[in-house]
Amino acid sequence: MVQVFDLCDRDGNGYITKEELSQICNQVSDEEVASSVLDNVMVCLDSNHDGHITFDEFKAGFEVRPCDSSCESALNNSCLPADISAAPS
Ligand SMILES: [Ca+2]
Ligand SMILES: [Ca+2]
């Protein structure tokens, strides 16, 4: 999970912005990921809504995800779920 976070945190400053999420999604996905989808993912993962996803938020977001159908569908529409589970740990 730390590796996945580091992968998403492209500039290594300890948190993921929507910009970085967009970059990683467009890098791993053949299809363009809609900005509205990324907005939903940010809302789901950024639990204190400061515009940054910290590792704790990132980890917590994926742990609670199965309980939250709207977040699950947002994440399913992004590039993240398959790559998270397939990522080498
Ligand atoms: Ca970053
Ligand atoms: Ca946050």
pLDDT band at 14, cuts 50/70/90?
very high
What's the gap in Å between 85 CA and the centre of ligand 2? Answer: 23
Q: Give residue 74's Cα distance to chain centre.
A: 10
Residue 16 above 90 pLDDT? Answer: yes
What's the gap in Å between 58 CA and the centre of ligand 2? Answer: 9
Quick: pLDDT tens for 21-35: 998 888 877 788 888
- Structural domain total, the chain: 1
We report the CATH number of the domain holding residue 35 as 1.10.238.10
Q: Which domain holds residue 49?
A: 2-84
- Asked if residue 89 is part of any domain, the answer here is no
What's the gap in Å between 55 CA and the centre of ligand 2? Answer: 9
Buried b (16+ CB within 10 A) or exposed e, 41-60: bbebbbeeeeebbbbebbbe
pTM for the full model? 0.76
pLDDT band at 67, cuts 50/70/90?
low
Q: Is 44 helix (H, G, I), strand (E, B) or coil?
A: helix
Please give the Cα distance from 22 to 20 (Å, whole number): 5
